[in-house]
Amino acid sequence: MVRRIGILTGGGDCPGLNAVIRAAVRRADTAHNIDVIGFRNGFAGVIEGTATPLTRESTRGILHLGGTMLGTSRVDPIAAKGGGVDRIREVLEMHELDGLLVIGGEGTLSAATALSGAGLHVVGVPKTIDNDVDGTQFTIGFSTALEIATEAVDRLHSTAESHNRIMLLEVMGRHTGWIATYAGLAGGADAILIPEHPFDIDRVARHLKRRHATGRLFSIVVVAEGAVPEAGTITLPEPESDEFGRPRLGGIASFLGPMIEERTGFSTRVTILGHVQRGGSPNSFDRVLGTSMGVAAVDAMASGNWGTMVGMHGNAVVPVRLAEATATLKTVPRAMYDVAEVFFG
């Protein structure tokens, strides 16, 4: 019998997290009579051991709010100082929890998989603007970020055209180019550079020159922050590391802009969208997806379906095995990129 569960949000934030928290608390209360507590700042809060009760009242009015009312961090529950499987188990027992709901992206859900493998009762919810978690068609946050990126492409069009310029728009996408491909497709980009398909800067420049030679007065290039050059072409500068030892991405467009300007002879400008993509209110799709996933995740917990993650498949949100969902990253399929490529030029 499941009586009490804990919730945390881990990794980078995204729009839609509060929708999941609200839905999980409401479903737990009304359908299953389960009490819920929340850990602050991802697994950092679990390691610390302190938690606060989450109730219908305390989670009211948050559906449309960006960020996460619980705070978040990239702290790894197993590798972090003071952490480890035994500590996490101890805290879950201390709070008399029957299970832990982990709302996270690739890093956080991989940690959840490891905890589940060690016998802890865990259920996951996939969130990340990068949309790179497998086992679900879409992750929470992607749709809102995509809307922001698409609006940026649209806005860059008019100013690019006034000046006969090439505009580089850099969007997030550490390992995969979901935002770049979809925003590029939606905004009619003339080139899209993503990690899945290494680029040749000379070929990109030749393509842009050809386009302007046919009388076009602007070009838009969407670049994912994690885009990589083809082997044997240019070398990108080594990124610095962030506080968790991960490469701090962001800035590839600033490196490529002058190269494209030099190779094409056209005035080139660079826009880096950065964390604007992660902030602010979730769009309606992410509110609905977050709500559906919050409800489905608590249902999975109530029925003891541990070691699962809820994923969107067609019109349904269903449990999938957490270990399978975190075994590989979900990359942009070649066929999708090919569709975008039809409109290059």
Residue 130 binds to ligand F6P (criterion: CB under 6 A): yes
Minimal distance in Å, beta carbon 270 to ligand F6P? 17
**What count of Cα atoms within 13 Å lies in the side-chain half-sphere of residue 138?**
22
Q: Tell me if residue 338 is catalytic.
A: no
Q: Which of 6, 10, 12, 42 binds ligand F6P (CB under 6 A)?
A: 12
Going residue by residue from 156 to 175, which x/- string records binding to ligand F6P, judged by CB under 6 A? ----------------xxx-
Q: Site size for ligand F6P, by CB under 6 A?
A: 12
CA angle 308-295-325, nearest 5°? 25
Give the distance between the most distant pair of CA atoms in the chain.
70
Minimal distance in Å, beta carbon 94 to ligand F6P? 30
- What size, in residues, is the chain? 345
Catalytic choice (130, 132, 134, 190): 130
Strands 122-126 and 308-313 come out as parallel
Q: Which is nearer to ligand F6P, 74 or 287 (CB)?
A: 74
Interacting span for ligand F6P (CB under 6 A) from 32-40, 124-132, 156-164, 188-196: 124-132
Minimal distance in Å, beta carbon 116 to ligand F6P? 21
* The residue type at 224: A
Compute how many other C-beta atoms are within 10 angstroms of the C-beta atom of residue 173. 31
Q: Which is nearer to ligand F6P, 76 or 130 (CB)?
A: 130
DSSP 174: S
Buried b (16+ CB within 10 A) or exposed e, 113-131: bbbbeeebbbbbbbbbbbb
Report the catalytic residues. 130
Positions in the binding site for ligand F6P (CB under 6 A): 12, 105, 128-130, 172-174, 225, 242, 249, 278
